[in-house]
Amino acid sequence: MSICYLEKERLFWLDTPHSTYLIGIAAKEGFLGHVYYGQKLSDVSGALSLLRLSEPPFTPDVNDRDRSSFFDAFPFEYSSNGVGDFRESSLRICCTKNGQDAVSLVYKKHEIQKGKGKLIGLPATFGSEEEVTTLVITCEDPVTGIVVELSYSTFEDADAIARSVRIVNGSDDAVYLKKVMSACLDLEARDFDILTLHGSWARERIQERKPLGHGVFSVASLRGESSHQEHPFLALMGKDAGQDRGDVYGFHFVYSGNFLAMAQRSQFDQVRICMGIHPENFCWKLDPGESFQAPEVILVYSSEGLGGMTRSFHDLYRRHLIRSSYLHKNRPVLINNWEATYFDFNAEKLLDIAKESAKLGIEMLVLDDGWFGNRFDDNRSLGDWQVNEEKLQGSLGELVSKVNALGMKFGLWFEPEMISPDSKLYEAHPDWAIQIQGRRACRARNQLVLDVTRGEVREHILAQIFEVLHSANVEYVKWDMNRPLTDLGSANLPADRQGELCHRYVLGMYEMQERLLSEFPNLLLENCSGGGGRFDPGMLYYSPQIWCSDDTDAVERLRIQEGTALVYPLSCMGAHVSVCPNHTVGRSTPFATRGQVALAGTFGYELDVTKLSDEDKVCIPKQIRAYHALNEHIREGRYYRLASSLEKRDFDCFEIVREDEGAALVFATQVLATPNMRSRCIPLQGLCEDAKYRIYEVSLEKEELMEDTENVVSGGILMHAGLILKRPWGDFKTQLLYLERIS
């Protein structure tokens, strides 16, 4: 069993394949303290000394006159509030009787169980009794009657720990939860760097590393979604940590709404990490006996640098988070009509695109925005999910049948959470929009947000969507969300529950997606939010892929996809080949380069194929065949980052190793050419040191492996010395190498 309790030592011992996590019970009162998290231990004798219980200020049962000093330094497993710990708190409540918010938790009991239960209404990791062990530690505040259940799940096949928190009101009066963090971790004094992902629309998830100084550093979202701007992830890194060496602690929040992730370096150089729902605009009423389930946080420790952390997240999400039947399948190569037509289309134009696409081997046509209601621009009709048969020159079923007759599948775009003020739905139910009465509405893209906390709203929207999907053979849905939440008011919630709106909104959205998949279990769902504004682990529970960014420029996508791949499997990243000059940045890159960059994701096209040059058209069948030949390797292989265009703007390189086949793919992109330079020497990773590898250059244009018969190199040379990579001539050039193990 990977979790045990050492009763004599009062120590909880949690193991993953390569890490150990220790929790101790201190003093007679039963304070729960974090003891250790790091490389796997075979013997934990003397571990409790790390709590420093034998040095001043000592524990309160020995020195109660300095209880505050004890609280201010003790490494709490779930930090208290208002009783002497002046660092970041994990839980803050307001008691209706006296209005006070102090909380101090002590250990009451625990249970170790095989398997892992669901988090009701929330996405969460899963696993069988053979794959997962779960520890639930119950703590209590004897004064307020608040009970806190801390859950820890370890996975037999992944170096990860899933943590979550459940709050129970054990008092006889209502309380208000003003802050509930899902995880807290106090680490020993160390000089850390902190790594986060930041950005904006069209430049999401860009890595940023900086020293962690004294005080508090945080990333957060108050937009009602995980956001383009900041990401629910952070990592602590040792100063010497890099891609393949050093200690890294990664934290990722399985949630799609407002979040706070913070790191605090204290006066004693201890570091506290807290992660959970953002306390601003959050206040949850708990009546006596009621409970609140907080979302889950994933913890990963790696002694093999960022690369080890990355592969642990990839393993966990592929094995224990993504549920879709498409997880281990090649996705259909689609063409989306958005950048080809925008709102200017009819059935004839769509069928012209479909006919030309089918000839070239494209497998699915996706009809984006503009097919419903009076939707001829983005100023109207959101919420009116009835097919505009005049625009489509017939029913949706007729159009889909014609597309299917070409041998293509069909997909459809929705934005179910939004409402246009100029719509039949708003005219009938203006109170269904999130709004503050008497305040001028804050519009974005001239649209408002539906209050999906309301059951009748969810029922109405889903009924429309189900009717559309049942009317035709729609096999793919793109679920979009194009604006943040503002004007936080619900006509359905009483005054003392208005602070529940943002979290209830996320729960309502999760319920809608769960019901969509229950109604259409074979549907391929792709989530989107103005590009990558809601790209988070919570959404992966419902959709195996998420649109990575509205910026499809190949050069910009290098760093966007690098940041995304830091924590997400490549098969999650929606990636398309688009037209040049690129619609977002105006850059022109070779068609082959756009294709190779998109191969590192789900792969598809976002252009008008009828207007492509013959030179570009001839590339499409070759790229599609390459996708089907290589995608299993890309989708299932282990990812190694070799060079970053963020660090050196001229070059980008990563490797994908299939350990079961003894083969590797190396993706390289020369962003900018440099004069008078020799070939590059790139040390590889993940190979067998004693094996020999034959190296082929893969030509997508010629559809062949170009073998240098003398190019057989040992794994040791390739990893410790490097692979010689010739520099191509020109900017924005890609190279793809295949390494076959021959001994």
- Looking from the CA of 692 toward its CB, the CA atoms found within 13 Å total 7
**Tokens 């109207």 label which residue?**
380
* CATH number where 488 lies: 3.20.20.70
The pLDDT value recorded for residue 208 is: 96
27, 147: one domain: yes
Q: Are strands 19-26 and 146-155 parallel, antiparallel or unpaired?
A: unpaired
Instruction: Using pLDDT thresholds of 50, 70 and 90, give the confidence band for residue 59.
Output: confident
Q: Tell me, yes or no, whether 382 and 307 share the same domain.
A: no
Average pLDDT rounded to a whole number, residues 64-70: 89
**Domain boundary pick from 519, 547, 575:** 547
Tens digits of residue pLDDT in 15-41? 999 999 999 999 899 999 999 999 999
HSE on the CB side for 628, CA within 13 Å?
Answer: 12
Confidence of residue 64 (pLDDT cuts 50, 70, 90): confident
Per-residue b/e over 334-344, b at no fewer than 16 CB within 10 Å?
Answer: bbbbbbbbeee
Query: Of these residues, 159, 550, 551, 616, which one is catalytic?
Result: 550
Cα 174 from chain centre? 35
- Closest by alpha carbon to 234, among 322, 300, 286, 327? 300
Q: Distance between CA atoms of 222 and 239, rounded to whole angstroms?
A: 31
Same domain, 271 and 152: yes
* pLDDT bucket at 230, cuts 50 / 70 / 90: very high
Domain co-membership, 372 together with 315: no
Kindly tell me if the per-residue pLDDT of 421 is higher than 70. Answer: yes
If 0-12 CB within 10 Å is exposed, 13-18 middle and 19+ buried, where does residue 581 land?
A: exposed
pLDDT of residue 705: 61
Q: Which residues contact 107 (CB under 8 A, 6 or more apart)?
A: 25, 30, 31, 32, 137, 138, 139
β-strand pairing of 259-265 with 215-221: antiparallel
Q: Determine, yes or no, domain membership for 171.
A: yes
Catalytic, out of 247, 368, 480, 551: 480
Per-residue pLDDT band for 139 (boundaries 50, 70, 90) equals very high
Q: Are residues 185 and 87 in the same domain?
A: yes
Residue 423, φ and ψ in degrees, nearest 5: -155, 155
Cα 639 from Cα 633, distance rounded (Å) = 10
The whole-number average pLDDT for the span 573-598 is 96
**pLDDT at position 708:** 59
- Dihedral angle computed from the Cα positions of residues 458, 463, 464 and 466, in that order, rounded to the nearest 10 degrees: 120
CATH number of the domain to which 718 belongs: 2.60.40.1180
The string of pLDDT tens digits covering residues 604-652 is 999 999 999 999 999 999 999 999 999 999 999 999 999 998 887 799 9
Q: Is residue 617 part of a domain?
A: no
> Strand runs (DSSP E) across 40-191, as ranges?
91-95, 106-114, 132-140, 146-155, 158-169, 175-187
Residue 172: CB atoms within 10 A of its CB come to 9
Domain holding 216: CATH number? 2.70.98.60
pLDDT of 710 higher than 90: no
Whether the Cβ atoms of residue 75 and residue 53 lie closer than 8 Å to each other: no
Q: Can 550 be counted among the known catalytic residues?
A: yes
Count of domains observed in the chain = 3
- What is the per-residue pLDDT for 101? 87
Show Cβ contacts of residue 96 under 8 Å, excluding neighbours closer than 6 positions: 173, 174, 175, 176
* Tokens read off for 33: 């303290």
> Does 316 share its domain with 373?
no
Asked whether residue 438 falls in the same domain as residue 511, the answer is yes
Residue 480 has pLDDT above 70, yes or no: yes
Q: Is residue 709's pLDDT more than 60? A: no
Domain annotation covers residue 633:
no
The pLDDT of residue 704 is 63
One domain, residues 662 and 539? no
Q: What is the DSSP letter of 721?
A: I
pLDDT in tens, 80-113: 999 999 999 999 999 878 888 899 999 999 999 9
Both 291 and 389 in a single domain? no
pLDDT at 734 over 80: yes
Which residue is listed with tokens 């997962």? Answer: 132
Catalytic, 650? Answer no
Give per-residue burial for 640-673: e unless 16+ CB within 10 Å, then b. Answer: bbbbbbeeeeebbbbbbbbeeebbbbbbbbbbee
pLDDT above 60 (res 383):
yes
Mean per-residue pLDDT, 583-597? 96
State the pLDDT confidence band at 260, using cuts at 50, 70 and 90: very high
Q: Which amino acid is at 578?
A: S
**574 in any annotated domain:** no
Is residue 557 classed as helix, strand or coil in its secondary structure? helix
**Residue where one domain finishes, among candidates 484, 514, 547:** 547
DSSP output for 477-536 = EEE---S---S---TTS-GGGGGGHHHHHHHHHHHHHHHHHHHSTT-EEEE-BTTBTT-S
Per-residue pLDDT band at 299 (split at 50, 70, 90): very high
R_g of the chain, CA atoms, integer Å: 27
Task: Give the pLDDT of residue 98.
Answer: 83
Q: Mean of the pLDDT values across residues 148-152?
A: 98
157 and 34 housed in the same domain: yes
Residue where one domain finishes, among candidates 514, 547, 580: 547
Q: Which residue range is the domain that position 665 belongs to?
A: 640-741
Within this chain, do residues 421 and 482 fall inside the same structural domain, yes or no? yes
Domain annotation covers residue 230: yes
Same domain, 394 and 306: no
Report how far residue 531's alpha carbon sits from residue 547's, in angstroms, rounded to the nearest whole number. Answer: 6
Q: Is 135 inside a domain boundary?
A: yes
Decide if 348 is inside a domain. Answer: no
Indicate whether 301 belongs to any domain. yes
Mean pLDDT of the chain: 95
Looking at the chain, the whole-number percentage of residues with pLDDT higher than 90 is 92
Q: What pLDDT, on a 0 to 100 scale, did the predictor assign at position 711?
A: 84
- For 119-129, write each residue's pLDDT tens digit: 999 999 999 99
| 691-708 pLDDT per residue, tens | 999 999 988 776 666 665
